[in-house]
Structure 1
Amino acid sequence: MLSGGPIGVFDSGIGGLTVFRSIAKQIPGYDYLYLGDNGRAPYGNRSFKTIHQYTWECVQWMFKQGCPLVILACNTASAKALRTIQQQDMPALQTNNRVLGVIRPTAEVIGNYTKSKNIGVLGTKGTVQSGSYLLEIEHFFPELKVYQQACPLWVPLIENGEYNKPGADYYVQLYLDQLMQQSPDIDTILLACTHYPLLQEKIKAHLPANVNVVAQGDIVAASLVDYLQRHPEMEQRLSKQGNLHFYTTIDDTPDFDHHASQFFGKEVKSEFVDIRGRC
């Protein structure tokens, strides 16, 4: 009998480690494989076609490493690539493997956080322009009013280690003002980018005390727990040795490890992999 394979967690860079951190905490004991496509990041401003191509290449590579289940811990990839992968690529591949995203699990519960029925969504330009959150939230909570705001400078601030410095406050306030000007009734703000939890305390400090700031990590992790309970045939295909492996498509692994450790909350040791041309 096959021993199974690891759960794959994919992101365009390092932000997905905030989701992976929650998953590994809520579902310990499983084997995990994390892949960050840092060599081609950021994805946020790229076209649907390019994001799909990059994401699908990475997913196929993770399948070849034995991952029967891959989580796109990236809002941009979930918004711009997941549907095509699920509806076109996977059927053509004729596999029992599965690929899941972070948008639907979040949309399924976000309405439970608001009293005013007005929520704000902060994300990359790509996520906002895709309209994916508007569509998914309307499906589960049609009574909600959803306002979106792109924050193009937040990811560069975070990835360059400037997120906890005073200079970041200006850009935090800038985008929050632009969001709140759309509606003074917003009482819940969703951080629809996996980088943004590193700014969460600064964001809270620039908002009224009654405004909830919701990160995705615990939501996605809880949704994965539920998924595995509902799909024992997948759960049985997963290996359980407690191993964690990290890979990046940038050859400067010490730099990746330094930043990744801040996102993951513990030391990360990665290996370089060249995805291009592998699939």
Structure 2
Amino acid sequence: MVNNKPIGIFDSGYGGLTVFRSIFKQLPEYDYIYIGDTARAPYGNRSFQTIHQYTWECVQWLFKQGCPLVILACNTASAKALRNIQQIDLKNEDPARRVLGVIRPTAEVIGNYTQTKEIGVLGTKGTVQSGSYRMEIGNFFPDIKVHQQACPLWVPLIENGEYDKPGADYFVKQYLDQILAQSANIDTLLLGCTHYPLIEKKIKEYLPGNIQIVSQGDIVAHSLVDYLQRHPEMEQSISRNKTQRFFTTTDDTEDFDHYAELFFSSPVKSGYAEIKC
């Protein structure tokens, strides 16, 4: 098997492909394998226990494909499952493997974007309820005030291909109005869900010109570059054949490929991944 030690990238569905796209752009020499748990998506409204179970099952599947390193390119999974995976599951499964998320890398730099010291985080219900962004940002930038807004209808709109239609405008504006009503001093909005870059253009239409939008793809990619530089033993273990493989947990791979191309900005040909519960 040529692609025997790829970097694994996980998401509950399609959103992680926006992160994968940025990672591959910066690190094209490595091998990659992506799995989207579309059969059980969305994760946003599920419990901590369920999200941890689903995420860990997919991470284990990636381990079986030979991945020494897995990126949880999903904010909900990073918020609700990563801590247990890192502190408990990995110690029992294989301490040499690593699983990283997207919240901490974002929290490490988000404070550099704001002038008013007030930011807004837009995310799924699960991400917002976890309080992970407030906690992580507070660790790095204790003087920054974090406002949060759950946007539960955005992911369904995006994954059903309705995000660029006029009917989506009402829901985009509704959630933006709600977070901006929390403070007039917000000058930075973080897209705390990897799906949201697909509606970034529409979001901008309903924002004042002084508010900037920050998405995670490039931030996470830069963080991975830094991580591999600081961990040469991991960097050297990853195979380099410039390959990309895609898998979905639904047996309708053609449907997955159609929507995945919108997120990845390139054609996608996926296979079916059977996750045994």
Aligned equivalent of 2:46? 46
- Checking the alignment, whether the CA contact within 8 Å between 1:12 and 1:37 is kept in structure 2 is yes
Aligned equivalent of 1:82? 82
Matches within 5 A, 1:121-140: 121-140=121-140
- Runs of 4+ in structure 1 off by over 6 angstroms are none
Q: Which string of whole-angstrom CA distances, capped at 9 and with x for unpartnered residues, describes residues 44-93 of structure 1?
A: 00000000001001101100100000000000000000000000001112
- Checking the alignment, whether the CA contact within 8 Å between 2:253 and 2:272 is kept in structure 1 is yes
Identity of aligned pairs, percent? 71
How much does 1:3 deviate? 8.2
- Checking the alignment, whether the CA contact within 8 Å between 1:4 and 1:237 is kept in structure 2 is no
AA aligned opposite 1:263: F
1:69 matches 2:69? yes
SS in 2 for 1:92: helix
How much does 1:29 deviate? 1.3
Matches within 5 A, 1:10-49: 10-49=10-49
Q: Which string of whole-angstrom CA distances, capped at 9 and with x for unpartnered residues, describes residues 193-216 of structure 1?
A: 000000101111110111010000
Aligned equivalent of 1:211? 211
CA distance in 1, matches of 2:54, 2:168: 30
CA distance in 1, matches of 2:138, 2:96: 30
Unaligned runs of 5+ in 1: none
- Checking the alignment, whether the CA contact within 8 Å between 1:3 and 1:237 is kept in structure 2 is no
Aligned equivalent of 1:222? 222
AA aligned opposite 2:246: F
How much does 1:270 deviate? 0.2
SS in 2 for 1:51: helix
TM-score, normalised to structure 2, is 0.98
Matches within 5 A, 1:134-149: 134-149=134-149
Q: How many residues align?
A: 276
AA aligned opposite 1:127: T
CA distance in 1, matches of 2:128, 2:214: 17
CA distance in 2, matches of 1:12, 1:182: 29
Aligned equivalent of 2:176? 176
AA aligned opposite 1:151: C
CA distance in 2, matches of 1:232, 1:29: 15
AA aligned opposite 1:198: L
CA distance in 2, matches of 1:193, 1:217: 10
AA aligned opposite 2:136: E
- Checking the alignment, whether the CA contact within 8 Å between 2:3 and 2:241 is kept in structure 1 is no
SS in 2 for 1:164: coil
AA aligned opposite 1:51: I
How much does 1:4 deviate? 5.6
CA distance in 1, matches of 2:118, 2:176: 15
CA distance in 2, matches of 1:3, 1:228: 19
AA aligned opposite 1:15: G
Aligned equivalent of 2:164? 164
CA distance in 1, matches of 2:99, 2:222: 16
1:201 matches 2:201? yes
CA distance in 2, matches of 1:212, 1:276: 42
CA distance in 2, matches of 1:54, 1:156: 19
AA aligned opposite 1:246: F
- Checking the alignment, whether the CA contact within 8 Å between 2:3 and 2:243 is kept in structure 1 is no
Unaligned runs of 5+ in 2: none
CA distance in 2, matches of 1:43, 1:37: 9
How much does 1:165 deviate? 1.1
Root-mean-square deviation over aligned CA pairs: 1.1
CA distance in 2, matches of 1:203, 1:67: 36
Aligned equivalent of 2:235? 235
CA distance in 2, matches of 1:191, 1:202: 13
- Checking the alignment, whether the CA contact within 8 Å between 1:4 and 1:236 is kept in structure 2 is no
CA distance in 1, matches of 2:173, 2:56: 36
SS in 1 for 2:266: coil
